[in-house]
A and B are shown apart, each in its own frame.
Chain A
């Protein structure tokens, strides 16, 4: 058995190696030909692979600062014998998708068993639609029962056939109390002349539009042309007047902690980490409501379904989830993790940015997945954020 597995492994690596050597743009043009490697390993095998290849975002798992190792991954190896080859090579959804879409469109494996992508981008649903994901082996994931009820039925994967949450986060407003009075509403952020040129918005369409639509009194879960145009017009006004300095990804964190920004749209977990160095930073959901998004574990075509599913089951054990959460500081999708964390790090368990109150959860919304895939909206948005 192991012999066959190794040989298949070898073939798959060779295929993926070839894929990485080519220029994606060049080969995208001469599209799907061979369908050899993908699916070859996705079979019914219930044997664990020797290694699990896991791509994740940076600073998104527990780290032992001394040895630089990841304790939960080491414990997984001890428990199952499978080594996790953990790579922090995802920086933003679009670039990562750009990287993997070439091989996937040619039916080649991308040499990964688990990847993590955000559901307020269009890519998880696009991957499903293109048939580039493997279904989870739910028989290997009894711990799926621990998934927070609010996350069980996203509209892009209603039965969680293809995805399980890794972490969630909230989008809200951060401000620096040394430079401004509290900024608690989008109206204040977009219109207060005292903040002119001192604020940034996020370059992910779902994040920024959700908050602006809520401020407009519209529902971000059901975007219409009218509510979309209204929100775009409002943001464009703020850009043209010079109120908005830039559209950013994570890179608001430097200027925010240095004091170049008085306030900005920001992600909850980032601010928890920034607060450790700068006590003047605060984060709140806007009075009209914020946005919640989830990073999802997905199995790309050609990944080892069984091994990936066993790993997913492992991280949905509340005790393991608590260990990861203690380091990551985003919102944990696993029921019972809070109780487990109370024992090891009560301060983190109390932080409402990590375990939000019910009141906060009632005030966050999920952005319309259909709008994320609307090419017209996407083009309008990109034109707005690149002047």
Chain B
């Protein structure tokens, strides 16, 4: 106790310590190994050796540009869809949920009690050619007589949207729930229409939730491969599928590592542009 008292300025570091140590061991060190591996050359049979093989990065970008773009595109569409669906839902729960709030939130989280893989496999059944969704869409003429959803980009984006939906809905709810309703009343007292009050008061105050939700959805979605694997055709495969096959099927670790870094860089770049556009202070609320 006396020690801490004398070195009061050490306290923040001691509090940060466990977290930093954890990050150092489980994030920085593996990342360093990954970086090292991404610059190796050779093959699995004779072994890999470190040769500053920057070519791995060039190959990754050159050969798999389509997959990178597709991943960012699918993740982007899924994020926007999740936002459009989740915002009204979170709004309604936050302002109109009343005593049912907790139960309604539980419904949003409920699918998470089932494993990711099983949830995605369930979508395989929901969207099956002989299933109810496809037959309704065929009847109303949205899908052609022989149309299908499985093994299309629609199915992949739908799967991603569904699987990451709670990551969007929960931060939105938290930021909407904190809004002081008297501010909205005040706006209306000052002759703002309901719509205008929403645009000028509610929406800006909920932006931290929007930013947190979009990031939490977009980042993992861009690296996802399960949805493309199970719900897509080869034409819908994302960069995650390529990394997975390089790592497991081809045991080509340097290529897989280089691609992981390119993906990381692409995501960081997108996030940086996004943060700049909305303003960094919104990131932290």
Known pairs A25-B30, A29-B37, A387-B237; A94 contacts B249 (CB<8 A): yes
Cβ-defined contact, B37 with A375, below 8 A: no
- Chain B stretch 144-196: residues in CB contact (< 8 A) with chain A: 146, 148, 150-151
Q: Across the interface, which residues of A come within 8 angstroms of B47, CB to CB?
A: 31
Stretch at the interface among B2-10, B75-83, B240-248: B240-248
In chain B, positions 34-77 with a C-beta closer than 8 Å to chain A are 34, 36-37, 43-45, 47, 63, 66-67
B248 touches A386 (CB 8 A): no
> Which of the residues B67, B233, B253 comes within 8 Å of A246, measured between beta carbons?
B233
Measured between beta carbons, the chain A residues less than 8 angstroms from B248 are 94-95, 98
Chain B neighbourhood of A48, CB < 8 A: none
- Beta-carbon contacts under 8 Å, A252-268 to B: 254-255, 258-260
The chain B residue with its CB closest to the CB of A381 is B249
**Given that A29-B36, A98-B248, A259-B129 are known contacts, is A23 also in contact with B150, CB under 8 Å in the complex?**
no
Report yes or no: A197 in contact with B148, Cβ–Cβ below 8 A.
yes
What A residues does B66 contact at CB under 8 A? 387
A162 at the interface (CB under 8 A from B): no
Contact A245 B233 (CB under 8 A): yes
| Pairwise interchain contact B234-A247, C-beta atoms closer than 8 A | yes
**Interface-centre pick from B124, B130, B245 (highest chain A CB count, 10 A):** B245
Q: A94 to B247, alpha carbons, bound, how many Å?
A: 9
Given contacts A98-B251, A101-B251, contact A260 B150 (CB under 8 A): yes
1/0 contact string of A24-62 vs chain B (CB within 8 Å) = 011011110000000000000000000000000000000
Asked if A382 contacts B245 (CB within 8 A), the reply is yes
Q: Return chain A residues, CB-CB under 8 Å to B151.
A: 197, 245-246
**Contact indicator A23/B30 (Cβ below 8 Å):** yes
For the complex, is A239 an interface residue (Cβ under 8 Å from B)? yes
**Residues in A neighbouring B22, C-beta threshold 8 A:** none
Which chain A positions have C-beta within 8 A of B124? 254-255
Query: Residue on B with the closest CB to A382?
Result: B245
A contact residues around B232 at 8 Å (CB): 246
Contact call B234/A386, Cβ cutoff below 8 A: yes
Count residues of B near A (Cβ-Cβ below 8 Å). Answer: 39
Asked, given contacts A29-B36, A254-B124, A387-B237, whether A382 binds B249 with beta carbons under 8 Å apart, the answer is yes
A387–B65 Cα gap in the complex (Å)?
12
If A197-B148, A255-B128, A386-B237 touch, does A378 touch B250 (CB 8 Å cutoff)? yes
Whether B202 sits at the interface, judged by CB under 8 Å, is no
Complex CA gap A259/B33 in Å reads 47
Interface core residue of B63, B128, B236, B249 (most chain A CB under 10 Å) = B249
Q: Is B199 an interface residue (CB 8 A)?
A: no
A126 in the interface, Cβ–Cβ < 8 Å?
yes
The residues of B that contact A197 with a CB separation of less than 8 Å are 146, 148, 151
CB-based contact A385/B234 at 8 Å: yes
> B235 an interface residue at 8 Å Cβ cutoff?
yes
Please name all residues of chain B whose beta carbon is closer than 8 Å to the beta carbon of A375 when the two chains form the complex.
Answer: 43-45, 250, 252
User: Quick one: which of A107-121 are within 8 Å of B by CB?
Assistant: none
Number of A-B pairs, beta carbon distance below 8 Å: 88
Q: How far is the CA of A95 from the CA of B29 in the complex (A)?
A: 24
Q: Is the CB of A387 within 8 A of B234?
A: yes
Minimal beta-carbon separation of A10 from chain B (angstroms): 28
Collect the chain A residues with CB atoms within 8 Å of residue B29's CB.
Answer: 26
* Alpha-carbon gap, A23 to B253, bound state (A): 14
Interface of chain B residues 226 through 278 with chain A (CB within 8 A): 230, 232-237, 241-242, 245-253
Q: How far is the CB of B157 from chain A (nearest CB, A)?
A: 15
Report the bound CA distance from A244 to B148 in whole Å: 14
| Chain A residues within 8 Å of B253, by CB | 25, 28
- Give the chain A neighbours of B237 by CB distance below 8 A: 386-387
Cα separation A134 to B80 with both chains bound (whole Å): 55
Chain A residues near B242: list those with CB within 8 A: 382, 386
Decide if A379 is an interface residue (CB 8 Å cutoff).
Answer: yes
A239: B residues at CB distance < 8 A: 234-235
B223 CB, nearest partner CB in chain A, Å:
15
Instruction: Say if the beta carbon of A153 comes within 8 Å of chain B.
Output: no
In the complex, A268 Cα to B195 Cα: how many Å?
Answer: 64
Q: B246 and A382: CB pair below 8 A?
A: yes
Task: Determine the chain A residues whose CB is within 8 A of the CB of B33 once the complex forms.
Answer: 25-26, 29-30
Chain B residues within 8 Å of A246, by CB: 151, 232-234
* A258 B128 Cβ-Cβ under 8 A: yes
Contact B235 A25 (CB under 8 A): no
Q: How far is the CA of A375 from the CA of B245 in the complex (A)?
A: 13
Please report which residues of chain A, range 159-174, place their CB below 8 angstroms from some CB of chain B when the two chains form the complex. Answer: none
**B128: A residues at CB distance < 8 A:** 255, 258, 260
User: Residue A7 at the B interface, CB < 8 A?
Assistant: no
Known A-B contacts A98-B247, A375-B250; the reply to A387 vs B130 at CB < 8 A is no
A78: interface (CB < 8 Å): no
Tell me the bound Cα distance from A385 to B246 in angstroms.
12
Among A95, A97, A383, max chain B CB count under 10 A is at A383
Q: Which residues of B contact A68 (CB under 8 A)?
A: none
A384 to B237, CA, bound (A): 11
Find B252's partner among A25, A28, A95, A379 (CB 8 Å cutoff).
A379
Shortest 10 CB-CB contacts between residues of A and residues of B: A387-B234, A387-B237, A386-B237, A260-B129, A382-B245, A29-B33, A94-B248, A245-B151, A98-B248, A94-B249
A-B contact pairs, 20 of them (CB 8 A): A28-B253, A98-B251, A126-B45, A197-B151, A244-B234, A246-B232, A247-B234, A255-B124, A255-B150, A260-B130, A382-B242, A382-B245, A382-B249, A384-B234, A386-B234, A386-B242, A386-B245, A387-B235, A387-B237, A387-B241
In addition to A375-B250, A385-B245, 11 A-B residue pairs with Cβ atoms within 8 Å of each other are: A26-B30, A239-B235, A246-B151, A255-B128, A258-B128, A260-B129, A379-B252, A382-B246, A382-B250, A387-B67, A387-B234
